[in-house]
Amino acid sequence: MSRTLVLGMGNPILSDDGLGLHVARELRATPMPDGVEVQESEVAGLRLLELVRGFTKVVIIDALKSGRQPGEIVRLEGKDFKGGHRYGSAHSIGLDTALELGHRLGFEMPEEVVVYAVEAVDVETFGEQLSPPVAAAAECVLEMIRAELGIADN
């Protein structure tokens, strides 16, 4: 049976970086179809690989800082983030590297990975509130993910 994981990612105490966690919590407050699991995660890299093993499809929600308009929503698919397997940070391997590693090790890896990212205003101040444009975008992302999962609006 196909299994889908919706993964809200981020840091709960760095303002807009909490977006993914916020959306995942809201989503989980409503009933999910069979085979769909919703999780919140504050991890990246190898720890992410351990989370997504065994799922057929993974939908990731995260904040982004890319120079777009605050609150702008971007939907990315696997092909969009295959940028080579360089490692650049001291402690993180990229999502693509983590997924490729899983494949090479023969793990059961998701066939489809979709990322919903929202352009953040502030991810550098300690706080638990989303900025107004990101909070508004969070509501839209919630609806987009419900549509992605085939959940009808009530």
Partner 1 sequence: MRKVSIDPITRLEGHGKIEIFVNDAGEVANVYFQVPELRGFERFCVGRPVEELARITPRICGVCPEAHHMASTKAIDGVFGVEPTPTGRMLRELLYSAFFAGDHTTHFFVLSGPDFVVGPTADPAERNILGVIAKVGMEIGGAVIKMRAEANELVSLIGGKAIHPVCGLPGGVSKPLSAEERDRAVEIAKGQVEFAKVALQIFDDVVLANADYVDLIKSDAFTHETYYMGTVDESNKVNFYDGKIRVVDPAGKEFLKFEAKDYLSHLAEHVEPYSYLVYPYLKGVGWKGFVDGKDSGVYRASPLSRLNAADGMATPLAQAEYERMYATLGGKPVHATLATHWARLVELMYAAERTLDLAQDPEIVNPDVRNIPTGIVGEGVGCVEAPRGTLYHHYKTDDKGIVTHVNLIVGTTNNNAAISMSLKKAAMGLIKGGTEISEGTLNMIEMAFRAYDPCFGCATHTLPGEMPLEVTVKSERTREVITSVKRFM
Contact positions toward partner 1, by CB under 8 A?
A: 11-14, 17, 42-47, 49-50, 62-66, 83-94, 97, 100-101, 104-106, 117, 123-127
CB of 84 to partner 1, least distance (A): 5
- The Cβ of residue 92 has, within 10 Å, a number of other Cβ atoms equal to 16
In the bound state with partner 1, the residue whose beta carbon lies nearer, of 100 and 148, is: 100
Tokens linked to 105 = 């090790």
CB of 30 to partner 1, least distance (A): 24
104-109, Cβ contacts within 8 angstroms, sequence gap of 24 or more: 107/49, 107/53, 107/54, 108/53, 108/54, 109/52, 109/53
In the bound state with partner 1, the residue whose beta carbon lies nearer, of 74 and 147, is: 74
CB of 53 to partner 1, least distance (A): 9
- 3 state DSSP class of 104: helix
In the bound state with partner 1, the residue whose beta carbon lies nearer, of 30 and 85, is: 85
Closest by CA to 95, choosing from 146, 149, 148, 59, is: 59
In the bound state with partner 1, the residue whose beta carbon lies nearer, of 13 and 147, is: 13
